[in-house]
Chains A and B, each alone.
Chain A
C-alpha cells in the first residue's frame, strides 16, 4: 500500500505574547490508501494542530518551521495557495468536532451546504445549477441518515439536535467524495448513544465509499472501533506508533501504558465491585417531581417536567451513582437534595430533616457540599487557593490562628503541597484545580459530597488520580458520595449503588453488578451497549439490544 498522506518531520510553532513555543516537534505519520489511522492524545498534545496543518487552516500566529506534508505525492506546503485551496473538500475533507459552533447561527443549514458545494464545483471547473446542487445535497443528507433533507436544509443550526448537526457536518465532508476523511473527535460533545451511532455511521461510510480515514480522538474505546493503525501523541511529539493490536496489547511507552490503564473496564475480571453498604439512610427522596414553569410576559407558559416521581434512598457511606444522558434530570435531583431548588411535589429528607423545612440553617446546609464538573469555572479567578479555602472555614467559625493549620491539613488531604495557598487558579492545572475544589468542599466538614461529573473535563490520566483520591477520602472521612455522571464504565467501578435516569425518571436502580450484569430496562441495555470499551471480550459481555431500542432512545429529534 502506498501512502495517501505522508507527514514528515513536521515542526510547527506558535507565537504567543512574544514567546515562540513549539507545538509540533518532528511529527511524522503515514496514512496508507484505504487505511484507517488514529491519532490519539490528550488536550494540548497537538493532534488538532496536526490536522489543521494538513488542511491549511492554521491560525495566523502559527508558523511551519520545517518538514513536509505530502498528499498523493504533492508537497502541500509548497503548493501555490490556489492549488492548495482546490484540494479542500474535494481531495480531503474534515468532520468538525463541535456540532453547534461549527455552523454560522444566522444562516440556514442549506446555505452552508450549498456554498461549500458551489465553490468546490467552481474550483473543479464544473458547472452546476441550483437544482442540481440541491439534488446532490439531498442525496448526501440521506446517506447520513437524515430522513427529511428538505427540512434540514431549511432549518437554522439552533433548530437541529446535536446529533443531527453532527450528521450534517459529516454530510458536508462527503459532498465531493474526498479521498481522505479527517475526523476531529466527532461526536465527543454528544451523548454516548448518539456518539455510538455517529461512529457506526462514519465507519460504514468509510467502508462503503472506500475512503481513507484519519481519526483524531482522545477516546481509546472509540479508536478500537475506528482504526487499524495508531499514533500516540504527547506534548507535540509522536511517542508511539503501531497497529491496533500491538498498541492495545503490548504498549511499549510508559505514557501509552498509563493511558490504557486509566480506562476503567466495563466487564471482565478487572472490574472492581464496591461493597454494598449496610448503614442507615442519610438521604431519602419520596415521589419527588420538579416542574419548571416558564413565565412569558404575564402568561404562564408550558411547564417542563425535569424530574418525575423520583424516589431513592442513599445510605451513609455509600457511593450512589446517578447516571443518565444530558437533560435526563440527574443534576436537578442533586440540586434539590442540596436545597438549591425546591421540588414541586414530594419530600426530601436529609439526615432525618426535611430539606424544605431546614430553611436558612447554615449548619445544616453545610452538611452537603459539591464538586463541580468544570474545574475552570469552579474557582474564583481573583482569589488564591488559601482565600478560597478560608471561606468555608471562616463561616463555620474557625479561629484565625487555627485557620492556617487547617488549610495546610486540607491541602495535604488532597495531596497538594502547603505552598499552594498563595497560588491563583490560573497557575494550576485542571487536576490541581479539581483537588482544590475538593479541599474546599471538605473544609465545610460535610457528610455528603455531591460529585457532578468531577472528572469528565479532565484528561484520562488525571481522571484516575482524582478518582483514587476520592476513594481514599471516603474511607478516611466516612463521607457519602452522590456521583452524577454519564460515564458508565467509571460508574461501574466506582459506585456501590447506581440509578439510571431517562427523561426525568429513574428507570432502573440497584448494585452495579446486577444493573450491568442483567439490565432489565431496554434503555439501560441500549445505554450500556453504546459505551465504547477496550476489548472484544467486553463487547461480547454487553447486554444484547435490538436496533429499534437503540433508535428509540436516541435524543435525535428536530427541536
Chain B
C-alpha cells in the first residue's frame, strides 16, 4: 500500500489561516492604515504640510496662540507657527527614532537571545543573567540619566533608549529559541552533522521570525511613546526641530486656556502609537504567537 493513501490531510494552508485571522480583525486593518498614513506623512512631509516654513525657528507674533480654524487646523503655537505642520514633521523625528532604536536593538537582542537559547552552559547563563539585570533597571530613569550625561539631542536619545531596549528582544527570542532548541528536529540536524551556524540561521531563526516581527511592530509604538516622554521631560530632541513630546511640553505652559497646543501634538503621538499597537496586535493574532 502506498503511503500517500494514508488519509491525505485536508489541512487548510497556514497562509490562509493567518490571512483569515487577520482579515477578521477590523482593528488590525485600521491599525495598518494608520501606520501607513503616518509613514506617508513623514516621507512626504514637505509636500503635505501646509506651512513648510514653520518647521524652523520662525517667529510670527501676530499669529501666535491662534485657536484652530480653517487656516490652521490645529492652531498655532507660542511663536505663531502652524502646529499641524510641525506635527507632520514631528512624525519624521518619531519614525527616525523608531528606525534608529529598533534597527540596532532588534538585531542585537535577537542574536543574543538566540545564542543564549541555543548554547546551554556559560553562554546562556551570562547572557540571560545580564539580560535579567538590565530588565530590572527602570528604563525611563536610566535613559534620563544617560541623556543627561550626554548632551540632550536625537542621537543621544536614540542611544539611551537602545541601551536598554535590546533586553526585551533578547528575553523574548531567548524564550522562543530555547524551546525550539529542545525540539527533536534540532537534535536530528545536529546528528546529521549540521554546523552551529546552519542550526542557528536555518533551523532556529526562521521559527523566530514571526515572534520578532510582532514584537518589533508593537515596540515601534513604545519607542515613539518613550521618545515623546523623554523630550516631554526636556531630554530629547532639541528645538527648533519639531518633536511631538517637546511640543506637548511647550503647550502645557499655556493650559488650560490654549488647550490646542497640547491636544494636537498629544493626539498625534497617540495616533501613531495606537496604529502600531493595533497592527502589532493583529499580527500577533495572525501568527498566533505569544509575545
**How does the 8 Å CB contact mask read for B6-29 relative to A, with 1 for contact and 0 for none?**
111101111011001000000000
Is the C-beta of A440 less than 8 angstroms from some C-beta in chain B? yes
Which residues 142-201 of B have a CB within 8 angstroms of A? 183-189, 191-195, 198
The answer to whether B193 and A366 have CB atoms under 8 Å apart is yes
- Inter-chain contact B11/A379, CB cutoff 8 Å: no
Instruction: Check if A19 is an interface residue, CB within 8 A of chain B.
Output: yes
Q: Are B188 and A428 in contact (CB under 8 A)?
A: no
**Chain A 321-345 interface 0/1 with B at a Cβ cutoff of 8 Å (1 = within):** 0000000000000000010100000
Chain A residue contacts of B187, Cβ below 8 A: 340, 370
A424 partner residues in chain B, CB cutoff 8 A: 14
A120 CB to closest chain B CB (Å) equals: 37
Does B11 contact A426, Cβ atoms closer than 8 Å?
A: yes
| Chain B: CB-nearest residue to A372 | B184
Is B62 interfacial (CB 8 A cutoff)?
Answer: no
Query: Which chain A residues border B183 with CB–CB below 8 Å?
Result: 377, 380
Q: Kindly report which residue of chain A lies nearest to residue B1, judged by CB atoms.
A: A465
Contact status A368-B191, CB under 8 Å: yes
CA distance A229 to B207 in the complex (A): 48
Given contacts A395-B194, A429-B8, contact A416 B184 (CB under 8 A): no
- Kindly state the separation between the CA atoms of A453 and B186 in the bound complex, as whole angstroms: 18
| Residue tally, chain B, CB below 8 Å to A | 32
Q: Which residue of B lies closest to A443 (CB)?
A: B192
Chain A nearest CB from B287 CB (Å) reads 12
Bound Cα distance A435, B207 (Å): 23
Q: CA–CA, A262 to B47, complex, Å? A: 74
Q: From the candidates B2, B12, B184, B194, name the one contacting A377 in the complex (CB within 8 A).
A: B184
Provide the bound-state CA to CA distance between A381 and B16, in Å.
16
Shortest CB distance A48–B (Å): 18
Query: Any chain A CB within 8 A of the CB of B285?
Result: no
* Residues of B with C-beta under 8 A to A440: 188, 192
Q: By the criterion CB–CB under 8 Å, are B198 and A415 in contact? A: no
Expressed in whole angstroms, the minimum distance between the Cβ of A123 and any Cβ of chain B is 38
CB of A415 within 8 A of CB of B188, answer no
- Chain A 434-457, CB-CB to B under 8 Å as 1, else 0, gives 010100110110000000000000
The one of A391, A416, A431 in contact with B192, judged by C-beta atoms closer than 8 angstroms, is A391
Q: List A344-402 residues whose CB lies under 8 Å from chain B.
A: 362, 365-366, 368-370, 372, 374, 377-383, 387-388, 391-392, 395-396
Is B4 in contact with chain A by the CB < 8 A criterion? yes
Point out the residues of chain B lying under 8 angstroms from A383, CB to CB.
Answer: 202-203, 206
Q: For B203, what are the chain A residues with a Cβ–Cβ distance below 8 Å?
A: 380, 383
Partner of B207, one of A381, A395, A465: A381
CB <8 Å contact, B191 and A444: yes
A residues 217-259 in Cβ contact with B at 8 Å: none
Residue in A closest to B192 when the chains form the complex, CB atoms: A392
Shortest Cβ distance from B16 into A: residue: A17
Query: Residues on A close to B: CB < 8 A?
Result: 16-19, 338, 340, 362, 365-366, 368-370, 372, 374, 377-383, 387-388, 391-392, 395-396, 414-417, 424, 426-429, 431-432, 435, 437, 440-441, 443-444, 461-462, 465, 469
Decide if A416 touches B4 in the complex (CB within 8 Å).
yes
Q: Is B3 an interface residue (CB 8 A)?
A: yes
Question: In the complex, are the beta carbons of A392 and B185 less than 8 A apart?
Answer: no
B191–A338 touching, CB < 8 Å: yes
Query: B residues within 8 A CB of A378?
Result: 184-185, 188
A-B contact pairs, 14 of them (CB 8 A): A16-B12, A17-B16, A17-B20, A366-B191, A366-B192, A368-B191, A370-B188, A380-B186, A424-B14, A429-B6, A441-B188, A444-B191, A444-B192, A469-B3
* A395 / chain B contacts, CB cutoff of 8 Å: 192-195, 198
Q: Which residues of A contact B184 (CB under 8 A)?
A: 372, 374, 377-378
Asked if A362 meets B207 with Cβ closer than 8 Å, knowing A340-B187, A414-B3, A465-B6, the reply is no
A469 neighbours in B (Cβ, 8 Å): 3
For B2, list chain A residues within 8 Å (CB): 415
The 4 closest A-B pairs by CB, nearest first: A392-B192, A395-B193, A382-B206, A378-B184
Q: Decide: A429 near B9, CB < 8 A? Known: A17-B16, A377-B184, A440-B188.
A: yes
User: Is the CB–CB distance between B192 and A380 below 8 Å?
Assistant: no
A309 to B1, CA, bound (A): 44
User: Which chain B residues border A379 with CB–CB below 8 Å?
Assistant: 185
Contact A362 B193 (CB under 8 A): yes
Report yes or no: A391 in contact with B3, Cβ–Cβ below 8 A: no
CA distance A155 to B12 in the complex (A): 43
Residues of B within 8 A of A391 (CB): 189, 192-194, 198
B188 contacts which chain A residues (CB < 8 A)?
369-370, 372, 378, 437, 440-441
Given known pairs A18-B20, A381-B207, the reply for A365 and B191 (CB within 8 Å) is yes
Chain B nearest CB: distance from A458 CB in Å?
9
Name the interface residues of B87-146: CB closer than 8 Å to any CB of A.
none
By the criterion CB–CB under 8 Å, are B6 and A444 in contact? no
> Is the CB–CB distance between A427 and B9 below 8 Å?
yes
A17: nearest chain-B partner, CB-CB:
B20
A374 and B189 CA atoms in complex are apart in Å by 16
